[in-house]
Amino acid sequence: MSFIRLKYNIVGDPAVGKTNLVLRFTADSYKEAHEATIGVDFGFKQVTVNDQAFKLQIWDTPGEEKFCCCGSRLYYRGSSCIFFVYDITSKESYERIPYWIEQVTTIGNFGPSGADDCPVFVLIGNKSDLAVNREVSFEQAKKFADKHNMIFTETSAKSSCNVEEVFESTAACVYEKA
């Protein structure tokens, strides 16, 4: 069986949990301390979804412009999907999602979300284990995602909730779209 290689890019504000989502998915681990990623970090994992094998290459970003490589078109070249991550306990991080969509679309020179030449856009509300401190409702984010042709889910890198699921269902979605 031959592998399909997919490139994932993860963007969003600092401290929303991008690096921990990658760590949880690729290594089933988690880090309490927040360290700014410098430049770009990579994660790799092989998965099989619906009898199709995939090799996922995941590009993590700092989210802080001073360290940022996400201003480069190369960063998004050949991307199959983009994860736009916010923290459900931070309205501010959610309100920055339109900025990230604008950045990625402009820099990557992609058509609108849903177009053939555009990677699959996925909206992720992370830290679902902290739902008691929630500042962004599930319904509000789902509505935004539907309007922008994005897949939507809430995850917890800490408890593992939905992490594997979102990486795998996105692979299936990219595959179906191709």
Q: Which residues bind ligand GDP (CB under 6 A)?
A: 14-20, 31-32, 34, 37, 63, 126-127, 129-130, 156-158
Round to whole Å and give the CA distance between 165 and 161.
8
Degrees (nearest 5) of the Cα angle 140, 93, 109? 90
Nearer to ligand GDP, 66 or 147 (CB): 66
Closest Cα partner for 83 from 165, 138, 158, 2?
165
Nearer to Mg ion, 54 or 83 (CB): 83
CB of 20 to ligand GDP, least distance (A): 3
Round to whole Å and give the CA distance between 42 and 61.
9
Which of ligand GDP, Mg ion, none interacts with 127 (beta carbon under 5 to 8 A by kind)?
A: ligand GDP
Question: Which residues sit at the interface with Mg ion, rule CB under 5 A?
Answer: 18-19, 37
Round to whole Å and give the CA distance between 120 and 79.
9
């604008």: which residue's tokens?
102
Nearer to ligand GDP, 60 or 118 (CB): 60
Nearer to Mg ion, 26 or 52 (CB): 26
Which of ligand GDP, Mg ion, none interacts with 108 (beta carbon under 5 to 8 A by kind)?
A: none
Which of ligand GDP, Mg ion, none interacts with 93 (beta carbon under 5 to 8 A by kind)?
A: none
């459900």: which residue's tokens?
88
β-strands 41-49, 120-126: how paired? unpaired
